[in-house]
Amino acid sequence: MSAVESRFTAESLRAQTAAILQAWGMPETTAHTTAALMVETDLLGVESHGISMLAQYEAMRDGGRLHLAASPRVLRDGPATALLDGDAGLGHAVSAQAMQLAVDKARALGIALVGVRNSHHFGAAGVYARIAQRQGLIGLVTSSAQGILLVPTRAAEPVLGTNPIAFAAPVSQGSHNNAFVLDMATTTAAANRVKVKALRSEPVPSGWVVDGQSQPVTEPEAARAQVFDQPDGGLTPLGGSSDGGSHKGYGLALLAQVLGGTLNGGAFAPLYRQSHGPGDPANVGHSFIAIDPRFFGEPGAFEHELDAILDVLHATRPANPAEPVLVRGDPEAAQHAERARLGIPLPAPLLRQIRDITARAGVADLLQPAHEGAPA
């Protein structure tokens, strides 16, 4: 950990985040659900989508784009499908509701899809796929996005969002393997990872961000500005360049837009902005799919086979003996174990941001330094 970082308990970060959200006008239950999901994201090591988002949420609130007192409602409800309206609020609580509804329906029919429209940023897609996985089901999540950040292959300007895809599958109860959880932006790196690099004054890897002439931007503050402030350039599609297969990332980004946004009545940001002002809600869309493996085989068979597959992958001879072969979900499990034990690290600039937001919200500073062995 950097000398300019401090660690805090997850419990105090949940309390601080919930207090801020309630001071902004979010109902208590919704605030606690949202705070829990944001801090779970930080425990998993996905710092770009956790409490570092508070500054962006404050700006959205101040700009009138967020309905903090949102009350999501079910628009349509069928045996294996449903459609929810997020009421222009943050997407965390309505997304957790939607995935749990998909799980409940899939238990009865084997598979279910629940869509959400009129939502906003929902954090890390993987936390919702994990809701299904923890209950023994497969979870699949896609989403559109409010930001226009991804520069399509051969383009000079951004058109799409980071449009995430997440997938989580359960392993056998008590398994020595971690669940397989794939949580990915369809850009080479998520926009907020660039923001975190700037917060830490760390160089941005070449291939994450390009300017309007497709040249890499690696200086952290310049890269942040290129992504968030400039009209041209931005994030590369997954693959980085056409030689690296960026057309595949571009295609996956469009897939997530169509399945997560367009299917549910969510907006495609470039078209939406032609008829809506900067103060209008973003109308982000999400899709949550749950699949019950018991409908496709004997109870436990899927989990047993997945365990065997993961064992083969973990046993694969590594190119570097010091770096064993991992499966998606392993790094997050390791981060969660470490951060639950040692606390969640906050770089000094982020800590200042949170304390400034806390003061502006008029709530007490509830952050508690972490001590090794204290409960998360």
The one-letter amino acid code at 211 reads D
Could you give phi then psi for residue 334, rounded to 5 degrees? -65, -45
Pick the CATH number of 1-62+343-376 from 1.10.1530.10, 3.90.1150.10, 3.40.50.2020, 1.10.1040.10: 1.10.1530.10
Decide: 253 and 150 in contact? Cβ < 8 Å.
yes
Instruction: Spell out the SS3 assignment of 164-230.
Output: CEEEEECCCCCCCCCCEEEEECCECCCHHHHHHHHHCCCCCCCCCEECCCCCECCCHHHHHHHHHCC
Q: What angle do CA 361, 52, 62 make, to 5 degrees?
A: 40
Instruction: Select from 85, 135, 151 the least CA-distant residue to 114.
Output: 85
CATH no. of 74-188+236-327: 3.30.1370.60
Strand partners of residue 5: 347
Please give the Cα distance from 271 to 276 (Å, whole number). Answer: 9
- Chain-centroid distance of CA 279 in Å reads 23
Could you give phi then psi for residue 24, rounded to 5 degrees? -80, -10
Q: What is the CA radius of gyration of the chain?
A: 20
- Chain-centroid distance of CA 276 in Å reads 25
Q: Where are the domains of the chain?
A: 1-62+343-376, 74-188+236-327
C-alpha distances in Å from residue 290, one per residue of 70, 287, 319:
25, 10, 36
Helix, strand, coil % in the chain, rounded to nearest 5: 40, 15, 40
pLDDT tens digit at each of 376 positions of the chain: 445 899 999 999 999 999 999 999 999 999 999 999 999 999 999 998 999 999 999 999 998 889 999 999 999 999 999 999 999 999 999 999 999 999 999 999 999 999 999 999 999 999 999 999 999 999 999 999 999 999 999 999 999 999 999 999 999 999 999 999 999 999 999 898 898 899 889 999 999 999 999 999 999 999 999 999 999 999 999 999 999 999 999 999 999 999 999 999 999 999 999 998 877 889 999 999 999 999 999 999 999 999 999 999 999 999 999 999 999 999 999 999 999 999 999 999 999 999 999 999 999 999 999 986 565 5
Instruction: Give the number of other CB atoms < 10 A from CB of residue 231.
Output: 9
Instruction: Give the number of other CB atoms < 10 A from CB of residue 176.
Output: 10
